[in-house]
Every structure is written in C-alpha cells, then in structure tokens.
Amino acid sequence: MDDGFALGVIDYQTVINALCKNGFVQAAEMFFSRVLKLGFLLDTHICTSLVLGNCRVGDLNEAFLVFEKMSKEDGCGANSVTYSVLIHGLCEDGRLDEAFWLKEEMNEKGCHPSTHTYTVLIKALCDVGSTDKAFGLLDEMVKKGCKPNIHTYTVLMDRLCREGRIEEANGMFRKMLDDGLVPATVTYNALINGYCKEGKVVSAFELLGVMERSNCKPNIRTFNELIQGLCKVNKPHKAMELLRRIVDTGLFPDEVTYNILVDGFSKAGQLDMAFRVFNSMNSLGLEPDGFTYTTLIDGLGKEGRPEQAHGILGLMVKKGIFPDEVTFTALIDGYCKTGKTANAFMLFERMVKNRCLTTPHAFNSCLDVLSKENKVNEQNTMFGMMLKYGLIPSVVTYTILIDGLCRAGDTIHSLNVLDLMKQANCLPNVYTYTVAINGLCQNGRVEEAENVLYKMSNSGVSPNDITYTVLLKAHIKAGQLDCAFEYLKTMVGNDFQLNNHVYCALLAGFVVSEKANGAGALSSACDLDAKSLLMGKNEDAWFSNYVFRAMEISHAIKLRDKIEECGAPIVDFYSFVVMGLCKVGRILEADNLMQDMLRIGLIPDKAVCSFIIEHFSREGKYDHCLEWMKLILEKGSVPSFASYCSVILGLLSEGKVEEARGLVSELLRHTDIEDRTAISPHIEFLGKEDEPYRCLELLKLIEERYDNERPII
C-alpha cells in the first residue's frame, strides 16, 4: 500500500467474516473477488464465512453451493466450524432431519462435532419440545468427550422450566456448578423464570440473592421475570415496588416491563392502576403496542365496561396500530358478558368484513352468550354462519352447543351433537362429555348420564374428577348418599385428589340428611330445603352462609370416617373443614380440630396453618402463633413463608425486635440459605404489606430519573 503497510490474508478474512456475520453477503462476495485478484487463494476460513452469511440471510441453497465447492477434491475442504454453521442454518429453518444427517456425514468425514455443534442440535430439539431426545444427545455428547458449556446447560434448564420441571432444572444448575462452570445472567434468568411460572416467587428471590452474591449483575430481563412472577401470584403492587430496584441499579424499565404491569393490574381487577401505568409510558418515551391496548380492552371487558374498551380500540386505531383478531375477540367477549349482544354482533360483522377471522374464537364468544340466554335457534344460525365462512368448529364450539341445548332442556339433541362431532372427526374430549353429563343430571336424568359415562369410557376418554363430582352431587341431590360414596370410592381408586367441591357436597348431604331424619336441627337462617342447598350455583357463599354455620362437629367426624372407609386420606378433609369453620368465625372449633390432627400424627396443610397463624397474628396473639409454628416444626414440616412474614412484621410492630430476628434466623435455617444477608432484604420486601399509594410515587420517581438521565440532543 502507499503508506508502506501491506494487508495480510488474516485482515481480509476478518473483513469478510464481519460482513457475513451482519448479513452483508453481496458486499462480502465483492470484497472476496478483489482478494482473489490480489493473488490470495481461496481458503476454508473465507468460504465458511460465506456459508455463514448465506445462512444468516436464509439462503440455504447458496450456502450449500459454497459448501459443495469446498468439499470437492480440489476444494479447500470443510471443517468442523463449516458443518456447525450449516447445521445451525438447517435448525433455524426447521429442517432437523437434514441437520442430524449432516452431523452423521460430519463424523464420516472425520470432522468431529464440537460442543457448539451439539448445543445447536440440543436447542433445536428443545425448541420443538423433544426434551428426552435432547437429553439423549447430551449423553452422546459427553460420551464423545465433548463437555457441555454454560450455553448447553442453559438451553436444557430453560426447556425444563418451560415444562414445569423446575426441580430437575435446579438439579442441572447444581451439576453445572459442580462442573466448575460459572452461571451467566441468562442462566439465572432461565431458572428465575421457571420458579416464577410455578408461582414460587420466594424461591425466585432467593436465587436473585445468590446471583447478586456471585457478582452476576441482573439485567432488565431478570427483573421482568420477577415482576411477572409477582403479578402471577396477584401482587402487582409488589411488582411496582420492585421497579425501585430497577431504577436504583441503573436500569430502566422497557416496553415489556410496562406490558407485564398493565396485564398484572388488569388481571387483578385494578384497572385504575393499569391505566396509570399505561399513561406513564409516553412520558418515558415508551410506546404502547398492540399487546398493551388489547390487555386493557380485555380487562375493561371482563370488568363489564365494554364502552370504555371500545374507546381504547378507537385510540389504538388512531395511533396507527391495527387491531388483530385477538383484540376484536376480547371486545366481543366483553359485550357478550354484559348482555350487549347487538354491539357484539356488529363488531363481529366488522371482523367478517375485514376478513380477520381465522379461528373460531370470536364465534365461540357469540355462541356462548346465546347458549346462556337459551336462544337455541340463534345459536344454530350462528353455527351455520361459521360453517359458511369455512371455519372449522373446534371442540370448544361443539361443547358450547351441547351446553346450550342442555340449558334449554333439549338433552336429546345435545346427545345428537356428540354423534355429529364423531362424524366431523372432531372427537369429544372429557369436558364435552362432562357438560353433557351435567346437563342430563341437571334435568334429573341421572341414569342416562351414567350411560353417557359408560360410552365415554368405551370411546377411550377417561373421566376426570369434575365428571365424577357432577355425578356424585347428582346422587346427593337425589338423596342417594350410598351411590355418592360409590363414586367417591371410584375417584379414590383412580388416584383423583378429592377437592372442596366433593367435600362440600358430601357435608351438605350429611347436614340435609340429619335434618330430614330429625336428628339435628338447622338454624332458622339456614333452614333451606335439600334442593336449594345442593344446587351449588354459588358454592363459596353457600359454604360460609349455610353449611359451615349449620353443621355440627359430629357431621364432620362421621363424614371423616366414611371418607377413610373409602380409602381416601383424611388430611385434606380436615383442612377443608378447618378453613370452612375459620371463614364463618368458628376459630376455636377449627383450632381444636387442628390439635386433633396433630394428636393422630397428621400435618395440617400449609395454607391452613398459614390461615390460622395469620388470623392470630392479626389479633396480636403472637404467643399462640409461635406455639403453632413450634408444633408444625416438631412434626417435621415448615410453616409457610407468609406465616413467618406475618408474625415477624407483627413482632416488629410491637417492638419485639429480638424475637423477630430469631424468627428470621429460623426461616433462613429451614430454607438452607448459606448467606443470610443475601436474602434478608427480599424477606423484608416480600413480607411488607402492599402500599398502593406508593406505586404512584414510584412512577413519578422513575419519570424524574428518566428525564434527568435522558441524553440531551
């Protein structure tokens, strides 16, 4: 060159590789032509870069043409990196069979797959849900002498977390540490996300403490996962407070953060706060997207405010964001829920006109409201329209039709729809059959319902706990307690966990039976007939107002013995009765029942213990709380995190600092946290009462910080 410096082949290789990595393949090829004119030879490094560039732009045909030229006798030859690049390109294109075939060819040509090659294939298998095959490939990888790296472990942990296999993911995390690998932020994020999806927010915060102690800095994704976890457990105000941590660490919330918060407050029914978060986005330079608007529309619809939801739709369109099928369906559902079917159908026609109907969801919303209004003819017309537009009815569609016919008392035609489904090759599922069985039971045709149960089993569809609960309740309603207990035995035999609906129906049956036999008197306030008691239309209110006020402890003892005779564990029944008694203020009797449980070696459910402890904590009876916590620990169980927080904060409020510190130490000891300072702040954060008013202050703070640190142009 003119200045006396001459570029070497490595310089040209670097430039070509950089262009290809960024997808500038044509520029790389032009530059490559100049390199050839200067007398440099074609080498494996340059050709591999061209293969990479073509894969990046999705031109696999061109990538294979370069690969074939490399593989010829007079070619420069492909190496392990070349094969890995092509395998990655095939995986990205969904061509896994070809990718694995190329791996085998790679072995035959003497190019051994590297850790990167295996990791690419493992990720591809995880992406399509073939987790077992991915672990099989991991075993092969280790046998071939390739050590998994951080990325390999992270990919597998992420997949396990997505499948809800959080303990297995945790085990893999420990194995990674044992192998001497240092987890990256993305690794922690995968595990934190897994805990949050399972609602195990405390464990997620414990992991955050470990992460910070290991000098691994959390990023905005970390906090977004935690915010979503708090929203999942219905603590959006805690999620808002967590924003302070984001600001304090120098990070700023992004669109994802705000979408999570808007969704969290909407689902919690706190739309005012959802709108405050939404309105603050613009001041931070963040633009709401289609998801943000659709979330608000859905929340308003569920709250019975479809007119306001329609206003949000108008604002969305004004902003240049075109509503999609999900948005329209959310609004239609909102109109349907408030009985404004005319508006729903007008919007539905707009969807038809705009040709944005690709799924049966909008039809299903309209069919559902017609079903609940017993408008069978209109329902049939809507179903015909659906077929006219070429949409294939789903199992949900047919299930709604059956439900509508059952509500109208037309059980014969509802059974005909079951046959129609089979003809249309849309096989009924357990919910479809259960709706039909419930319809027959509601119409007093229990024998026919049992025939449908028989057909259901013969069709290869197994009844679930809801199916059996429907039949069990139908027999109790008919005064046939013996038949109900036969179904109870069947449920136990099929390893179904008995739920509160079952216990509720049986307990009500005992109360009504005793009343009918004159063996026990119900209070005048609860003096209802069996039919009204067992309809179960609003079971939560029914529990509190009637059954648990009317029952005697003897009813519960008799039912406990019958449940035990059926082979079912009685600990859940005890928990059910204790919670029910607590709800109606019969705390002393509930406490006695729990003491009875402990005497016979049963450990009360953590939720029940927490309920009792928190109740006494609210009354300031901390000695009683501590006695209960001690009893639970002596039985080999650990009180819930909520119980500890409730008592710790109560003790602190009374100035009993040493006792509170003792409980914190005890909590940390039972959760196996080595560094207590890492989790203590999180305990304090999660234990504090929600303070909604502070959320507004926090939003203001974030806006101020953002304005102060925004670069001036």
Query: Would you say residue 475 lies in a domain?
Result: yes
pLDDT on residue 537: 43
pLDDT at 37: 63
Q: Is 541 exposed, middle or buried (0-12, 13-18, 19+ CB in 10 A)?
A: exposed
Mean pLDDT of the chain: 79
At residue 74, what is the residue type?
Answer: D
| Count of structural domains, the chain | 1
Distance separating alpha carbons of residues 29 and 46, to the nearest angstrom: 10
Asked if 154 and 186 touch (Cβ cutoff 8 Å), the reply is: yes
What confidence score (pLDDT) does residue 227 get? 92
Region 31-49: what's the mean pLDDT? 68
Which has the closest alpha carbon to 161: 186, 196, 133? 196
Of 338-347, 560-569, 681-690, the one with minimum mean pLDDT is 681-690
Residues 6+ apart with CB under 8 A from 563: 488, 498, 506, 570, 573
Using the predicted structure, report yes or no on whether residue 187 has a pLDDT greater than 60: yes
| pLDDT tens-digit series, residues 615-663 | 788 778 888 888 878 877 777 777 777 777 778 878 877 888 788 777 7
Rounded CA-CA distance 59/52 in Å is: 10
pLDDT at 523: 35
pLDDT value at 613 more than 70? yes
pLDDT at 706 over 70: no
Pairwise pLDDT comparison (548 vs 436), residue with the higher score: 436
Q: Is the distance from CB of 356 to CB of 331 less than 8 angstroms? A: no
**Domain-embedded: residue 546:** yes
Q: Is residue 568 part of a domain?
A: yes
Q: Is residue 668 part of a domain?
A: no
Q: Please tell me the predicted confidence (pLDDT) of residue 539.
A: 47
Give the residue-averaged pLDDT of 15-35. Answer: 72
Question: What confidence tens digit (pLDDT) does each residue in 230-269 have?
Answer: 999 888 888 888 887 787 778 888 899 999 999 999 988 8
Residue 7 domain flag:
no
Tell me, what's the pLDDT at 421?
Answer: 86
The span from the CA of 331 to the CA of 531, in Å, is 37
Q: Give the confidence band of 191 by pLDDT, cuts at 50, 70, 90.
A: very high
Gap between the Cα atoms of 712 and 243, Å rounded: 24
35 is a domain residue? no
Using alpha carbons, select from 105, 107, 116, 111 the residue that is nearest to residue 52.
Answer: 116
Q: What is the pLDDT of residues 510-555, one digit of tens each?
A: 777 766 554 443 333 333 333 333 344 444 454 455 778 878 888 8
User: Would the pLDDT of 698 be above 70?
Assistant: no
Q: Convert the pLDDT of each residue in 280-330 to its tens digit.
A: 888 778 889 999 999 999 999 888 888 998 899 889 988 888 888 888 888
Instruction: Return the pLDDT at 62.
Output: 79
Question: pLDDT exceeding 70 applies to what percent of the chain?
Answer: 84
Instruction: Taking residues 338-351, report their average pLDDT.
Output: 79
Q: Which range of residues forms the domain containing residue 505?
A: 468-574
**Mean pLDDT across the stretch 47-76?**
76
Helix/strand/coil percentages in the chain, nearest 5:
75, 0, 25
Q: Please tell me the distance from the alpha carbon of residue 260 to that of residue 266, in angstroms, as a whole number.
A: 10
Would residue 489 count as lying in a domain?
yes
- Domain contains 527: yes
Which one-letter DSSP state was computed for residue 445?
-
The CA-CA-CA angle for residues 683, 631, 684, to 5°, reads 10
